[in-house]
């Protein structure tokens, strides 16, 4: 059995705990054993998974891999700690708040002989796979991707572009490399409202 720990118990972390506690029959998950979860908040147990300290997760030799599901800004530091402790790491997208930090983490994982895997779960959904089939072989002339959400804490999630970066990866995966041609941001603090509008151009313009 391959020992694992889940770090962070937001929506993604809770889904990880659920799936590790109840793996699909004959799936690779059956070979994973959840030793517990790490959170700044005190929970005790969640679905029979026990809460353990970060120190215990890093020290425990029976834990081979960490699933990191915390806010964007803490990803880099948490990845470094688990790689230093000799653990494999799976982290929710995005891995870090800068390309420089991401490359450093890839190099660190390689030096340690560990797997560092970034998972963008939306790219694995049936809806997205269908969308990819629909655009295959077609030329993009013009298009708009509009999405909304609650206003996030920039101290935890990073600059607003990072709140939407998962959606931007859709576009790159569907249409190839993109160049930013313009970007604007509108804020209305009294209404707790923020909007970012970005225009991109594909390689063939």
pLDDT of residue 62: 97
Q: What is the pTM for the complete model shown?
A: 0.80
| Of residues 39 and 122, more confidently modeled | 39
Nearest to 52 by CA among 11, 3, 5, 18: 5
* Of 23, 106, 191, 113, nearest in space to 4 by CA: 23
Q: Could you identify the residue written with the tokens 């995005």?
A: 94
In tens, the pLDDT along 2-59 reads 999 999 998 889 999 999 999 988 988 899 999 999 999 998 888 889 999 999 999 9
| Alpha carbon 131 to chain centroid, angstroms | 21
Is pLDDT of 158 > 80?
Answer: no
| Category of 179 on φ-ψ map: left (φ > 0), alpha (ψ -120 to 50) or beta | beta
pLDDT tens digits along 178-193:
999 999 999 888 888 8
Domains along the sequence of the chain with CATH = 2-119 (3.40.50.720), 128-202 (3.30.360.10)
For residues 82 and 65, what is the distance between their CA atoms, to the nearest angstrom?
8
């Amino acid at each position: 059995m391959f020992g694992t720990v889940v770090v962070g118990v937001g929506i993604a972390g809770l889904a990880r705990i659920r799936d590790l506690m109840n793996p699909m029959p004959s799936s690779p998950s059956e070979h994973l054993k959840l030793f517990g979860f790490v959170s700044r908040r005190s929970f005790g147990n969640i679905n029979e998974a026990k809460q353990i300290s970060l120190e215990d997760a890093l020290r425990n030799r029976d834990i081979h891999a960490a699933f990191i599901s915390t806010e964007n800004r803490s990803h880099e530091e948490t990845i470094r700690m688990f790689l230093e402790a000799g653990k494999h790491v799976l982290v929710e997208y995005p891995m870090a708040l800068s390309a420089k930090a991401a490359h450093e983490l890839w190099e660190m994982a390689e030096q340690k002989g560990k797997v560092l895997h970034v998972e963008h779960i939306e790219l694995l959904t049936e809806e997205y796979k269908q969308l990819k089939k629909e655009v295959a072989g077609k030329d993009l002339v013009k298009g708009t991707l509009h999405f909304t959400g609650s206003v996030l804490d920039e101290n935890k999630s990073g600059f607003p572009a990072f709140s939407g970066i998962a959606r931007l990866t859709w576009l790159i995966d569907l249409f190839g490399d993109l160049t930013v041609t313009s970007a604007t941001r509108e804020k209305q603090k009294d209404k707790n409202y923020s909007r970012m509008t970005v225009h991109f151009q594909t390689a063939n313009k």
